[in-house]
Structure formats: C-alpha cells, structure tokens
Structure 1
Amino acid sequence: MNAKFLTGCKLMTALLLVIATTGCSLLPRGQETGPEPATPSLSPVVEVSEDYYGSIPPYKPNQTRGMLSDTKYRIDFSHLELGLMEFARETFPTSEYLFQEGQQIKQEQVTEWIAQEKAGAANGQKKKGILVHVLEHDYLSKEKDHLGQLEGMVLGLSLSPEYQDATGQDKMYTTQELQAKGQQLAARIVQSIRVNTPTVPMLVLLYQVPEANSSLVPGHFIMSGTVNANEASVSKWQPIDEEFYLFPSSDVESKYAQQSLQYDKLMRQVQSYFGEYVGMTGVGRFMGGKMTELTITATAEYDSRTEVLQFTQFAAGSINQLFDKSVHINLYVQSMNKPLAIYIRPATGEPYMHIYRQ
C-alpha cells in the first residue's frame, strides 16, 4: 500500500487543479460537441513529483457532491478523495488510466440507499444509520482504440460508528463491527450498481467518518474490497490499518510515545529560537502502526518576510534532525489570516520550500 500522499493539504489541492486543467485532454465517445465529433487525443502531461492521474475536459462535477450540506457529519473531503486515488493506483495505474469524477451513481440512488439502511433497524433500536455518503471515482482507458471508455470504478462508502441502543444511549461500533456492517452494506450497493455496469472492475473502500468532537482529525479508511470484471459481488476484503492523531495530545503520547517526544522537542526548539509565541499543531498519519506522514501548521504574526524565511529554514532543519526520512512532512507557516510559507519533505525525492511574497 502506498502511504505517501498529502492528507488534507492545500498544496495537493493546488497540484490536482494543475493536473486537472493541464493534463491529458480528450473527448469521450458519445459526448462530442459541434457539428463534427472531435477525434480523441492526448495532450502532454505536466511533470510533477507526485503520481497523479490525467483528466478529460470539460470538467464534470461528481453526481453526489453536495449531499452532506444538510447533515451533521464532517468529512475531510481532501483525505477522502485523495485517499480513493491513492488506493486506486494499485488497481488502475496512472500510466494506463485517466480520471473522471463519478458519473454513474446519482444523488437519488444514494438517498435511497441511506433511507433503506436506516429502515433496517433492529427491534427496539433507534436507527441512526451507518451510511453517511457514497463517493464515486471513474477511471477511463488511455489506450488509443478505447480512449475515454469507462474501465474502472472506485466507491468510497462513508460510515458513521455512532448508534443508539434500545434505551436511547449513544454507543460506538468497534472497528471490527463497523467493518462487518460495511461489508453487508457494500454487497447491496454493488449489486445495485451492477445493473448498469456489469463488466467494469470496481474497488470498494470503507471510510469511517470522525467522531463529532474530533474537528481537527480526519476520518480514516478501514477496509478495501475488490469486485472483478463480470462479478456481481466483492470477491476479496482486506482490512486497512490507518489512524490519525493530533499533536500534541494525550492520545498520541500514550500510544506513540517516541513520536510525541520528537514533536515536543521540535516545539521547544522553535520556541527557544524565536522567543515570541508560535502556535504549532500537527496531525500524524499512521499506517500499520508506523507514522508515514506529519502535517504541521505553525501560526504566528511576523514583522517581515525575512523573519518568515528564517523561521521556515530553522523549523525545516529541526524537522530533518528529529523525524525519520521515511516520514512525509508538510509544514505550513501562516498568520491569522493568510499563508506565509510552506515546506514539503517527501519520503522520496527532494524537499521543497516556498515563501509567499504577498
């Protein structure tokens, strides 16, 4: 599993926009405009350090986007969307496929699935429903003779672990319980989708949304399932051991003491060097019990760009001394109302630093 992608960060969002607007260009069959259909073609792809998909113009928004605006659930869509792409690369490599927002599943279908799942409550149980949202990504062929044809789908099923028992008490499903319920739910959804896409291979990912009081920590993936071409059900499920922890916090201190001490040392070094208060919060991503990514946001008021430059350089040097090179680091330096600098140290490749001029 490739654990190197930028979780919920502005840099990745910007790079995705670059790829989406300057990457692969073609018109899918059946959607040409004008009196004469255009011949599908590929344009050069912008070279970037991250492994991204090319896309097809014109941009078509996802059919289920916006469905969460009236709900209480908070989903970190940066992590959800980029996570779907990360896992998709193992099944649908970027060298062979193009990306398109989901076009097969409609909002009405998702609304019906959510309603059906809520209606299946056990006797005496107040049903909240575990299904929160369904996000679809489509993958299209790059082959010359099949350009733009749908050849793969990835489904992200966002699940809530919260429920109420027969007495009305709020409870939480364990990860294992949520995985089991998610598999049952996915079986029904896949069967429904197969009516219109019987031969397209699919990847199904179960995503646990964060708890209501976890505003700074995103949700996480808990399981992936494979639906082969011409099959109507998931043939293989695999658990995903992904966790996110806030730095500093008692939770990360109790489970990952070494990484917590490293972060505390980083904060002390920064404070001792710069004197005035610098607020620093971090979110660490752990895969299989190992920290693979750390995103740090440093907030302070600076008098000059040279001060910002020196702070970023010093912080970057401390990060490189304290954290193993296998950890992808994202450092964002900002004031209360605007970004000031970024420092990115990928697990592979060269680090990057930028100071904003305005």
Structure 2
Amino acid sequence: MEVIALKKLKVFLAIASSALILGGCGLGNLSSRPSSNNGTQLTGHANNSNYQSVIKHGHYLTSKSRGVDVQQDANQLNLKSFENGLLDLSKKEFPTNKYIFQEGQHISTKTTEHWLDRKSQNSQGLNPSGKETKVPLYLQQMDEQDFLTQHGKHLKLSGMTVGLGINSIYYYKKKKYGPTYKKSISNATVKAEGHKIGAKVLARLRRKPGLKHIPIVIGLYRQGSDDSLVGGNFFAYSVNKGSSIDGWKPIDERNYVFPSNSGDKGKHANDANDFSNFKSRVQNFFPNLSGVTAQAHYINGSLSGMHVNITTQFYSQTEIIAFTQYLQTAAKKYLPSGMPIDITVKSTEGVQSFLARKSGSKSFSAHVFNSY
C-alpha cells in the first residue's frame, strides 16, 4: 500500500478559491465571545455567509482528519474542492447564524489512518482486502467538521459533518518503482461503495462519547482523476439522527473547464461563449498573456460560480495596474452576471493581482500586489 501522506496546500490557492466558495472570511469582533475561563473565544462574524470559528487558548484548532490520504494525491484541486464542497454541504443543515464552526476534533489522525487502510492490513480498515493490482482502494480521504451552539458561557457540540472521498479512478503499481497503472471505477460502484462505507462510519461515530445523539451528516465525494483541471464533486449526502443511515439525498454538482478541449459545450454553451468572448477581448487588448482559463461550478445544471486564472508575462507595475483596471470592466461586461466570480492574475514571479465579485453584486473589487 502507498504511504499515507499529509497534504499541504499552497497558501494563495486556499485564499483564492475560498474567496469564491466562502465569500471571504476574517476575524471579527471578539467582544461577544464566551467566557474566557476555559480559554475559549470566537472569531466573530465577518459576514452572515460564514461561520464564527473557535479559538482555544489563543490558537485556532486545526482538523485532526483533514489532509490524510490513503495514497499520494497528485491533484490538489481534489483537496480544495473537497473542503469547500463539504463546507457548503454543512451550511444546508447547520445555518451560519445558529451554529459555530470548529475543525474536526473527534476523529484523530491515527484513527483516520486506520480507517483508510485495507481491512487485511488493519482490522479497522474501511478499504477492502485484496491485492493492490486487483482490488481498488475506494476510500481516498475523509474530513470532519464540528458545529457548536452557545449556551450561556459554554459551547456545546450540536452537530457534525463527515465527508468521504471515494475514488473514481484507482492508481497502482505492479512493482515498487515501476510505472503507474490506473483502473476506472464505475459511477454505480462509486455510489455503492460510498453508501457502504458511509454506513460503517456513522455506526462507529455513534459509539464515541458525545456523538450518540447529535445530528450527523455524511457527505459522499467523487474524486477527480489526477489529470483533472477541476477536481471532483459531492454526489450524495445523508442527515442522520440514529445509528443507521436515514437515506441518501442526491447532489447534482459538476465542475467544468473553459475553454473546453472536447468541443462539446452542451447545455452550458452560453456560459462557454461568454467566457470565450471575455478571453478574446482580454487577449486582444493585452498580447503578453500565456493563458486564460476558467473553472466553472454548476449546481442542478445552473452556473453557481467561476474561478478565472490568467497567466501573464508582465513585469512592469504600471502594466499590472492597467491590466487589472481593464479586467474590472471586461469581466463585468462579458462574464455571466449574478453569481460569484474570482480572477487571479499571476506570472512566474507569483500572484500579481486578484479580483472578486460576490453573489448578487455587479462590480468587481480588485487588489494589485506590490512587486517590492
């Protein structure tokens, strides 16, 4: 079995992609924090679309399960899409104005590693026994999110969401240092294995102290391939009050790359054409561009957000400023209206500017990073 690895995402990727999905998050007023007798504080609300988070003894509590993978995940977009999608799923069941967010504290790193193992190698393993070359590893990653409510001066655990990343393609080696082979896993198998693993995870969680009676949401995520430019997507979730799954609700979410190499724009042709017009105008106006691409996110067939990445060959600060100003006008005119969009401008030297528009807004805010 491949060595379990702790993944580290690039700082700016986290900031840029979170701007679209999370709407921007920061420390708020701490004056409304619970009593500091136990060293607990809240970050406060930056806006109503985000949770307040917990700080204990002056430190933010990081997740114990996030970033632990059963195999080395070559596509870090899977990790970010998984995190952001899980948070969006949580917001459906645990409203931001009623619950306080805390990174998962009940599934330890060691437990996560055991659960991601093959059953033949660890009695707690949720992946099936069998030879690496014949039997796929289905469960790739998992993450826990905790949701608390405030009762006087105390915080109480009142809900939990657990995301399970299920492989759609299994990568393996026949020899330790040999070539990598891959095996496709059908959607039907991804669904069936996800349901099976989700039921086992829920039953195990209910045996833990403090988790017997809270609502627990289990989300199932289909991992994208290693060469995917958009990562994967959640396809089902279950909201549970007991020890058995209360049924699965389907999630219709898809991620696409513009421009499309397949030539089949399908029912998203209008959005693809809008982006094509934007790209053409931008490239005609500023020739020193290496690439203009977009990652579009759809929910129930409708565009819900877009990440635009522009790679430049600019070196002058005045060029960057002028280009960013032009983008504010061009994006407003040519890109789809109504939904959140962020635009990252970067070169080999790093990020040069960043633009973002919130849902419902008409104009883009922008920031140009100084080159010194």
Shorter-normalised TM range? 0.7 to 0.9
> How many percent identity over aligned positions?
22
Change (3 A) 1:42 1:342: closer
**Distance across 2 between alignment mates of 1:170 and 1:355:** 42
> Which of 42, 52, 55 is residue 54 of structure 1 equivalent to?
52
Partner of 1:132: 140
Supply the AA of the counterpart residue of 1:254. K
> Which of 220, 225, 235 is residue 246 of structure 2 equivalent to?
235
Partner of 1:349: 361
Deviation at 1:284, TM superposition (A): 1.0
> Which of 155, 170, 176 is residue 162 of structure 2 equivalent to?
155
Matched residue of 1:236: which SS?
coil
Matched residue of 1:309: which SS?
helix
Change (3 A) 1:97 1:182: same
**Distance across 1 between alignment mates of 2:217 and 2:318:** 48
Partner of 1:3: none
Q: Deviations over 1:158-203 (max 9, x none)?
A: 1102259xxxx95423334312221111001100110011101011
Asked whether the 8 Å contact 1:24–1:98 carries over to 2, the reply is no
**1:91 and 2:97 are equivalent in the alignment:** no
Aligned length: 335
Gaps of 5+ in 1: 1-6
Q: Deviations over 1:232-275 (max 9, x none)?
A: 12213111111111222223743333222222221211121123
Deviation at 1:23, TM superposition (A): 9.2
Cα RMSD of the aligned pairs, angstroms, is 3.2
Asked whether the 8 Å contact 1:74–1:209 carries over to 2, the reply is no
Deviation at 1:313, TM superposition (A): 2.5
**Distance across 1 between alignment mates of 2:17 and 2:134:** 42
Deviation at 1:89, TM superposition (A): 1.4
Change (3 A) 1:247 1:142: same
Partner of 1:201: 215
Partner of 2:5: none
Partner of 2:204: 192
Give TM-score scaled by structure 2 length: 0.79
Matched residue of 2:297: which SS?
strand
Matched residue of 1:264: which SS?
helix
Change (3 A) 1:131 1:69: closer
Partner of 2:10: none
Matched residue of 1:118: which SS?
coil
**Distance across 2 between alignment mates of 1:313 and 1:94:** 34
Deviation at 1:8, TM superposition (A): 5.5
Deviation at 1:305, TM superposition (A): 2.9
**Distance across 1 between alignment mates of 2:128 and 2:240:** 26
Change (3 A) 1:188 1:21: farther
Partner of 2:9: none
Partner of 2:127: 118
Matched residue of 1:99: which SS?
strand
**1:65 and 2:63 are equivalent in the alignment:** no
Q: Deviations over 1:4-31 (max 9, x none)?
A: xxx965263798773399697447xxxx
**Distance across 2 between alignment mates of 1:124 and 1:171:** 11
Matched residue of 2:68: which SS?
coil
Q: Deviations over 1:272-330 (max 9, x none)?
A: 11233342121111112222211111111224333223212322322222233123211
Asked whether the 8 Å contact 1:96–1:141 carries over to 2, the reply is yes
Q: Deviations over 1:97-125 (max 9, x none)?
A: 1111111112333333332333355x998
Change (3 A) 1:189 1:330: same
Supply the AA of the counterpart residue of 1:89. K
Asked whether the 8 Å contact 1:157–1:207 carries over to 2, the reply is yes
